[in-house]
Structure 1
Amino acid sequence: MDNRINVEKNRKDKIPYDYYKMLFKDFDPGVMAENTGCIFNKDREEIIVKLMGQDIVVKYPSGDMYSAEGSKIEAYPPKALILRYLMHGKGVSPSSKYITYREVDGGNVYYNNFYGRCILRLSKTFGKNVDKFKKIFEKLGAEKVDMGDAAYKFQFLNNIYVIFAIWEGDEEFPPSSQILFNSNVSFYFTAEDLAVVGDVAIGAITKLAF
């Protein structure tokens, strides 16, 4: 039963990735790299994207993705997200302003989904493991932010910065969290995309923690 569910989920996740791969070949790789702050290697026909501190090699025009060591990236949601980011990036640099999900265009409509998928997940995963939360972000070289019991600003992708904040909670209140995005994020992602951003980022730090 569980295996069948996983197969169905993989199939569902593969559909948008295949769709964006089809569109990707019609975009200029040099322009995409310039508009996202990535590097385009013309000789090798690949764009180097930095995701959570790791180099991801995006082949052009196929849209296939590999780690810096050469192993193929298998997970579909981050691959679809990266292709959307490359195709839709507008070249807007980060600002000093950070905004909540609700402040993003369409954020109010999708907030319940984002809350359950990202904010609540972050609270449940690290609300009682704040020391691990701190160690992960210090290891990643993230910038400490004066917010909550622990908060860090980190680079999710080139030009895309996110803040994760945790409150431990006490006898009266359960642990809570907040996720903020640099105000330039709307020039790269939609509100729906940002749920994937949060999901992928939490998955990455959870893998480092446990």
Structure 2
Amino acid sequence: MGDKINTDKNRKDKIPYDHYKTVFKNFNPEIMAKNTGCTFNKAAEEITVKLMGQDLIVRYPSGDIYSKNGSKFEAYPPKTLILRYLIHGKGVEPSRKYITYREIEGGNVYYNNFYGRCILRLSRTFGKNVERFKEIFEKLGAEKVEMGDAAYKFQFLNNIYVIFAIWKDDEEFPASSQILFNSNVLFYFTAEDLAVVGDVAIGTMMKLDI
């Protein structure tokens, strides 16, 4: 039964990725790379995208995505997110301002989804293990931020910076967290996309071998 559920989910996740592959090929790869702060290898027809410290190769015009070692990158939600990011990026540099999810257009509409999928998940995953939270971000070379019991600013993708903050579990209050986005994120992602950003970032953190 579990295998069937996973197969159905993969099939469902593959549909939007396949759609954006057909859209991606209609855009100029040099302009997409310039508008996201990525690099384009004209000879190889490849855009190099950095996802939380990992170099990923996006082949043009196919939209197929590979790890730097040449193995195919298999996870569909981040692959779809990367293609949308390349297609929609407006070339706006990061600012000094960070905003909450609710401050993003559509953020109030999708907040419950974002809260459960990202904020609550972050609290439950690291609220009782703040030291691991710190170790992960130290390994990623993230910048420490004065907020909560631990907080870090990190590069999610080229030009896209996010802050994760944790307040640890104690006798009076359960663990809580906050996620902030650099204000330039409005020129790259929608509110729906940003729920995937948080989800993918937490998933990547949990897979890191610390």
Name the residue aligned to 1:191. Answer: 191
- Gapped runs of 5+ residues in structure 2? none
* Partner amino acid, structure 2, of 1:199: D
1:24 aligns with 2:24: yes
Name the residue aligned to 1:46. Answer: 46
Helix, strand or coil at the partner of 1:94: coil
TM-score scaled by length of structure 1: 0.99
TM-score scaled by length of structure 2: 0.99
Q: Which runs of 4+ in 1 moved over 2 A?
A: none
1:172 shift after superposition: 1.6
- State the distance in 1 between where 2:169 and 2:77 align: 32
Q: Which moved more, 1:200-209 or 1:160-169?
A: 200-209
Matched-pair contact (CA < 8 Å) for 1:133–1:209: no
% identical equivalent positions: 79
Deviations 1:5-64 (A, max 9, x none): 101100110000000000000000000000000000000000000000010000000000
- State the distance in 2 between where 1:107 and 1:196 align: 13
1:12 aligns with 2:15: no
Compute the RMSD of aligned alpha carbons: 0.8
1:169 shift after superposition: 2.7
Helix, strand or coil at the partner of 2:125: helix
- Gapped runs of 5+ residues in structure 1? none
The equivalences for 1:133-152 within 5 A come to: 133-152=133-152
Helix, strand or coil at the partner of 1:163: strand
Matched-pair contact (CA < 8 Å) for 1:48–1:56: yes
* Partner amino acid, structure 2, of 1:99: I
Helix, strand or coil at the partner of 2:208: helix
The equivalences for 1:1-210 within 5 A come to: 1-208=1-208
User: Number of residue pairs matched?
Assistant: 210
Helix, strand or coil at the partner of 1:36: coil
